[in-house]
Structure 1
Amino acid sequence: MPATETFRIPKRREHAPTARQRIRKALANWGITGELADSVVLLANELVTNAVTHCRVSYAQVEVRLTLQEPELVLEVLDPDRDRLPRIHDSGPDAENGRGLALVEVLADAWGHRQEPYAKCVWARLTLAEGMARVPAGS
């Protein structure tokens, strides 16, 4: 049975650190630390930042789901702006932003998005090395 951490944050940039902290704590509880945990937290930061920055729905919440079902770890970030789909931009060397999804593409084994009835979900999947994580009993 998979282990899952799901939570919501207000669609405001100042809540992105809360998402990073919750993700890091869940990963530590599952025995995922070090470089892999850093990569997942960075992925979460990019996807959450994109959601809070680009979602055009006022007073929205962003949902974050992290699921461990060996051998995969899946991060999903949902926001209610279901018709505004993400795309990678070709940012110039002097651009101050626009590289988040390019970073996601490099860090994740796969990533994508889907439209749900009332939200869009942007997801990233990582394949774990055998025995890298432990799913706690009761998860």
Structure 2
Amino acid sequence: MASELATNAVHHGRAPGRDFHVRLIAPPANHGAVIRIEVSDTPAEKLPALTTAGPDAETGRGLYLVSQLAERRAVSPRPGGAPGKTVWAEISIGTKPSDSC
């Protein structure tokens, strides 16, 4: 999911003289929680619509895969009043197995 969101920022969100930022937020090891992937770029347009790629298409499936894997995803304003948007996705991870039977 991180790769897809970052790739979209490179292909669709680049502006001269501006970078994009990737932020991964994960809990400490072996704790049940949510991993959040955030990609911020300068353009303020909303998340592109999901498309249906043809069987021979080499592109067009990434956001569909993110939509199927992520438990939540959305677009929000870029933090700190910076121009642009942040596209984010979240996925839950399991808890540490119990040591007792």
**Fold shared per TM-score above 0.5:** yes
Question: Partner of 1:61: helix, strand, or coil?
Answer: coil
Paired residues in the alignment total: 90
Whose helix proportion is higher, 1 or 2? 1
The aligned amino acid for 2:7 is T
Cα drift, residue 83 of structure 1? 2.1
Give aligned-pair identity as a percent: 38
Matched, 1:58 2:20: no
Q: TM-score, normalised by structure 2?
A: 0.77
Cα distance in 2 between the residues matched to 1:61 and 1:124: 20
The aligned amino acid for 1:65 is R
Cα drift, residue 97 of structure 1? 0.6
Question: Partner of 2:47: helix, strand, or coil?
Answer: coil
Largest Rg, 1 or 2: 2
**Alpha-carbon displacement from aligned partner over 1:29-79 (angstroms, at most 9, x marks no partner):** xxxxxxxxxxxxxx1110000000001411321101111245111010000
Give the gaps of 5 or more residues in structure 2: none
The RMSD of aligned alpha carbons is 1.8
Contact 1:62 / 1:77 at 8 angstroms: preserved in 2? yes
Matched, 1:71 2:71: no
Q: Which runs of 4+ in 1 moved over 3 A?
A: none
Give the gaps of 5 or more residues in structure 1: 1-42, 133-139
Cα distance in 2 between the residues matched to 1:57 and 1:84: 16
Cα drift, residue 84 of structure 1? 4.9
Matched, 1:107 2:30: no
**2:49 is matched with which residue: 75, 78, 87?**
87
